Structure 1
Amino acid sequence: MIEAAPAHYAHCEALLRERDRDLWLACLFAPPSARPHIHAVYAYALECADVRAKVSQPLLGEMRLRWWTDALTNDISEGTRAHPVADALLDTVARFALPVGELTELADAHVADLYDDQMPDTETLERYCRATVAGPMRWAGLILGASEMAAFDDAGLALGVTRVLRRPAGAHIPADLLAKHGADIHVNAAPLRAALGELRNMAESRYASARRSAGALVKGREALLPAATVPVYLERMARKDYDPLRGLTEPSPLRRQWRLWRAARGAGL
């Protein structure tokens, strides 16, 4: 096995610190030896999530995402190793025997971001959150030696749905849920708030389930920390001034950091 360049792991950490500071802070509670590998996993997730913002048309985005699946499944080339995130990720996958199929599912799931088609149902949204958000949390748990994955799956789904709710109502809101309430994603009225309220309940339920499962974890609780701020956002959604067309306002960095610190002293959530 050819080890990744240390500078490439440092690049992953810098990327995380710049683009998602809360996630970077959550990673600080992991043991130092595992931290660079967790950075690599999340840097990969960020690279795939950011593809839509970097391309002018969907086909170009699909090509970028295909590059990642090819890098994970084909023989490693010099070009792949020259990419700092890919180099660190492939080294991490080899060291910890991470499930390559799950990693490629993350890239494939982000193809949906490139188009404006409405998600057809809540089951599709759950699959999307499981692939794009729960997946990296599970891999971080494996890096930390966790053997039970239920807590990571539920925490990832709670965090994924919360991220959907943080944004202005759009294509990720399931069409079946909108139809059930007669809601329009362009109209801030009771039907839309009721539909989004169901998603909020889903996130709360998954978070509660994750907390119950977390208590049984012997190793890997630190990998749950990215979801520790979920209640902070869901509480803001329950406020009277919540406007689904504008999305959730950000809680103060201090409050988010305090929530992470408290969760780190407990079961990770």
Structure 2
Amino acid sequence: MASEGAGRSNQDICLATLRETDRDRYLACLLSPEDKRGALAALYAFHAELARIRDLVHEPLPGEVRLQYWRDLLEGQAHGASEANPIAAGLLAAVVEYRLPRKSLIDMTEARIFDLYDDPMETRNSLEGYAGETASALIQLASLILSAEDAPRSAEAAGHAGVAQAIAGLLMLMPLHRRRGQLYLPTEILSATGLDREAFLAGNDKDRISAAIEAFAGLGREHLAKARAAGKIAPSVFPAFVTVALAESTLLKAQKLGSRLFDEPIQSPQWRRQMRMAVAATTRKF
């Protein structure tokens, strides 16, 4: 009974963390089968912890230390009792119960090293690799929790959907990243529009910046179309895809705004995002 109580407590804490750090995936948990929510909440809370490390540190080294904590945990070299960290405890329980591949989770932490520095994202392939190890992997891991039997059949859709979702998220964060001197928009896309990293961050050439943003969002829409064309997703794993329903409106708005997205928010109000996710969960279309 004590372990069941601890399990409920860990789930509550993971859900509370998500409610504060990733409201969309918090709602995705609520739209998922009740018996899967604890594992999904732990997985999503882990992802949220990795995603916000840059916001919590002022230098890369403390960020790398935080990432090393998670790598050590997943490699079985945790420092101290993992039970003291409800997210860690919940994640390890999910790994064991649903046989989640530890390598995918470790690769997710490795990919987040890029967030800590201001290095350029050189190519489209580099961006797709980063998105694949973060957003795409998250969808596939959630699918494994929902149905290990059905998850492999939606792996291609998860791959493309994750890239689309990652690009939409990066467009929403682009004003913040620009203030930091960070840029995820691939250098090869900048070059195709006659820009370099410094010119984009300076923000003076509005027309070319708009063209670069339009191309970046267009890449996201291309992957979204491929995800939709990848085949029917089993109802059992569709809850892993409900947040993808938010990507298209963001990508379209970014293409419309161009350089104005530095001054105008492109994220839809929360009530509208919640409605889109609920419709997606009902129609099983993103």
Q: What's the TM-score bracket when you normalise by the shorter of the two chains?
A: over 0.9
AA in 1 matched with 2:130: Y
Are the aligned partners of 2:137 and 2:162 in contact in 1 as well (CA < 8 Å)? Answer: yes
Distance 1:126 1:213, change over 3 A: same
% identity of equivalent residues: 30
Residue 230 (structure 2) aligns with: 213
Residue 171 (structure 1) aligns with: 183
Are the aligned partners of 2:218 and 2:255 in contact in 1 as well (CA < 8 Å)? Answer: no
Q: State the distance in 1 between where 2:13 and 2:206 align.
A: 45
Which SS does the other structure have where 1:172 is aligned? coil
Residue 249 (structure 2) aligns with: 232
Distance 1:240 1:201, change over 3 A: closer
Q: Report the Cα offset of residue 91 of structure 1.
A: 0.4
* TM-score between both structures, scaled by the size of structure 1: 0.92
The structure whose residues are more often helix, as a share, is 2
Are the aligned partners of 1:242 and 1:248 in contact in 2 as well (CA < 8 Å)? Answer: no
Give the counterpart of 2:131 among 104, 129, 132. 129
AA in 2 matched with 1:147: P
Q: State the distance in 2 between where 1:63 and 1:69 align.
A: 10
Give the counterpart of 2:168 among 162, 165, 168. 162
In the alignment, structure 2 segments of 5+ residues that lack a partner are none
Which SS does the other structure have where 2:284 is aligned? coil
Out of 100-109 and 3-12, give the one that drifted further. 3-12
Which SS does the other structure have where 2:120 is aligned? coil
Which SS does the other structure have where 2:35 is aligned? coil
Residue 26 (structure 2) aligns with: 24
**Is 1:258 matched up with 2:275?**
yes
Q: State the distance in 2 between where 1:241 and 1:157 align.
A: 20
Residue 49 (structure 1) aligns with: 51
Alpha-carbon deviations, 1:223-242, whole Å to 9, x = none? 10111111121222233576
Residue 152 (structure 2) aligns with: 147
Are the aligned partners of 1:237 and 1:248 in contact in 2 as well (CA < 8 Å)? Answer: no
AA in 1 matched with 2:166: G
What is the count of residue pairs matched by the alignment?
268
* TM-score between both structures, scaled by the size of structure 2: 0.87
Q: State the distance in 2 between where 1:218 and 1:94 align.
A: 24
Residue 207 (structure 2) aligns with: 190
Q: Report the Cα offset of residue 174 of structure 1.
A: 1.1
Q: State the distance in 2 between where 1:97 and 1:13 align.
A: 22
Q: Report the Cα offset of residue 177 of structure 1.
A: 1.3
Distance 1:263 1:116, change over 3 A: same
**Is 1:109 matched up with 2:111?**
yes
AA in 2 matched with 1:152: A
AA in 1 matched with 2:191: A
Alpha-carbon deviations, 1:62-88, whole Å to 9, x = none? 111011001001255642221111100
Distance 1:72 1:247, change over 3 A: farther
Q: State the distance in 2 between where 1:81 and 1:216 align.
A: 35
In the alignment, structure 1 segments of 5+ residues that lack a partner are none
